[in-house]
Amino acid sequence: MSTGLDAVPLAPRHLPLLGHTVALLRDRPGFIASLPGRAGLVRLRLGPHTMVLVCDPALVQEVLREDRTFDKGGPFFDRAREAVGNGLATCPHGRHRRQRRLCQPAFRPARLPDYADAVTSAAYETTAAWADGQVVDVNRSMLAIANRTLATTMFGSRLPDATTRRIGEDAETIMAGAMRRMLLPAPFDRAPTPGNLRFRRARARLLETVREVIAAHRTGGAGHRDLLSDLLLAAEPDGPDDGPAGLSDQEVADQVLTFFIAGTETTAGLLSWVLYELARHPEVQDRLHAHVTRVLGGRPPRAADVPELTYVARVVDEALRLHSITWLVTRTVTRATTLGGTHLPAGTTVALSQYAVHWNPLVHPRPRVFDPDRWAGRPADRTSFIPFGSGPRRCIGDRFALQESALVLALLIGSWRFTAVTDRPARTALSAACVPRDLRLRLEARPASPGRP
Ligand code: HEM
């Protein structure tokens, strides 16, 4: 057994003060995939933070499974907590079981069809003004769809458009701010830089908006079929064994912030990467269009169609593999342990990156190639494909996001062809989610578009 962190090799290409930040910002997946590490571990420095990056897919599973030993913590979640409090995604192990139980009903599969209309309406409203030949800012549009969808499913139809837009803008500012703050030494957080001021303003405004909406829901009475009503009603029938029976107003506010931060930029990023890859692979786009036309026969998609849209699922899975939206999460070792034969003292920060698994050529041959057919007849297993994480802290919104992506994609591809305006690869925004920056694509209207639902 190796002892001490010094036994873990330091990843190459590290710079004084900045550590590996520059190498990561230049090419996140390429850099991470190039780090096999002895015993599947390497030491990584991100600005002021040193962490052990787990490169071996089996060890990644071990960390994700053992959530008591590898608890939420480290720079990523410490920063995220500043943004969303102690909601489901950021709370420590001791609070997680109860919160997850209380939030789960709002995300159970039987509730998904209730949310489908919100998705298609959001897609129609956002793209209503699109015209043949126009060049669109794809990520902006996908973010507008994701924000509208989540605002409607979360709060019902009672939220004014301006409020929805404001929530979306604030969520985006917070995501970008959390990543910037993670990469910089702690004293910079308190400096009155424009970025820090924007972050604090967005956080305060978002919290205020959410509290107002919760208060309005509480006085508006029961009977709404939206996520917030489910959270407000959440209570454990047999009484609590590890906390109060229901969620307090503060906990509900933390959850709502969490769902907005965790559920909008991620889904929008996924859809943007899918459209980017379709524009670069016209043969895949044509096949997808033919598939969607065959399944839907020209009508708008519904929740019941999603299981039939098998090629859509393959395209989405491949974009999730190649672009791994949530690309880095951290954990804190709560008690001394060994991982891959290496001793890790309590307090060690452990980092996991989806790229270490999704770009590993032994797991996915030709990992840099966008090939939806790699998923044909090969259901993804949880060791080789972890876009939504794994174990007790797996994404609670995974089915929600997959249904939303399938419906939006089927609807857009039925009406439009997307073409690239440049051969240059897309740049990636510096944010907690890996999303394309300034992605512009040209639209071509398809002859027979499905009508409004
Ligand atoms: C493409 C879209 C999405 C991706 C790639 C994604 C990815 C992830 C990943 C990797 C995790 C695990 C993080 C970890 O292990 O530390 C996670 C957790 C979580 N996600 Fe998502 N997510 C997506 C969409 C959503 C949506 C739509 C929602 C809610 C509306 C959501 C809410 C959450 C929450 C609350 C957690 C924490 C779960 C827990 O700890 O029990 N996500 N997500």
- Are 391 and 72 in contact by the 8 Å Cβ rule? The answer is no
Within a domain: 64: yes
**b/e burial code for range 180-210 (CB count within 10 A of at least 16 → b):** bbbbbeeeebeeeeeebeebbebbeebbebb
Within a domain: 453: no
State in Å, rounded, how far the first CA of the chain is from the last one.
62
For ligand 1, atom 41: residue with the closest CA:
393
User: Per-residue pLDDT for 453 more than 50?
Assistant: no
Atom of ligand 1 nearest to the CA of 266: 2
For residue 185, the model assigns a pLDDT of 64
Reduced to 3 states (helix: H, G, I; strand: E, B; else coil), residue 443 is strand
For residue 449, the model assigns a pLDDT of 56
For residue 439, the model assigns a pLDDT of 94
For ligand 1, atom 16: residue with the closest CA:
329
Q: In whole angstroms, what separates CA 388 from the centre of its chain?
A: 8
Structure tokens at 293: 């036309």
- Tell me how far apart the alpha carbons of residues 299 and 302 are, in angstroms, rounded to a whole number: 9
Domain that holds residue 230: 5-445
- Are 301 and 309 in contact by the 8 Å Cβ rule? The answer is yes
Average pLDDT over residues 19-42: 83
Within a domain: 84: yes
Nearest to 272 by CA among 316, 330, 236, 303: 316
Q: How far is the CA of 398 from the centre of ligand 1 (A)?
A: 7
Within a domain: 140: yes
Alpha helices in 223-353 (DSSP H): 227-233, 249-263, 265-280, 282-296, 310-323
Q: How far is the CA of 89 from the centre of ligand 1 (A)?
A: 7
What confidence tens digit (pLDDT) does each residue in 408-444 have? Answer: 999 999 999 999 999 888 888 766 778 898 899 999 9
- As for ligand 1, residues whose beta carbon falls within 6 Å of it are 88-89, 100, 258-259, 262-263, 266-267, 270, 325-326, 329, 387-389, 393, 395-397, 400-401
For residue 151, the model assigns a pLDDT of 86
Atom of ligand 1 nearest to the CA of 258: 35
Q: How far is the CA of 90 from the centre of ligand 1 (A)?
A: 11
For residue 313, the model assigns a pLDDT of 96
What confidence tens digit (pLDDT) does each residue in 331-382 have? Answer: 999 999 999 999 999 999 999 999 999 999 988 999 999 999 999 977 667 7
Strand-pair partners of 52:
43, 350
Within 10 angstroms of residue 290's Cβ, the number of other Cβ atoms is 12
For ligand 1, atom 7: residue with the closest CA:
388
Atom of ligand 1 nearest to the CA of 227: 30
Within a domain: 450: no
User: Per-residue pLDDT for 240 more than 60?
Assistant: no
Q: How far is the CA of 397 from the centre of ligand 1 (A)?
A: 6
For residue 278, the model assigns a pLDDT of 98
Within a domain: 451: no
Atom of ligand 1 nearest to the CA of 91: 40
Reduced to 3 states (helix: H, G, I; strand: E, B; else coil), residue 44 is strand
The pick from 68, 332, 395 for probing ligand 1's pocket by mutation, whose C-beta has the most ligand atoms within 8 angstroms, reads: 395
Domain count, the chain: 1
Within 10 angstroms of residue 153's Cβ, the number of other Cβ atoms is 26
CATH number at residue 430: 1.10.630.10
Average pLDDT over residues 104-113: 88
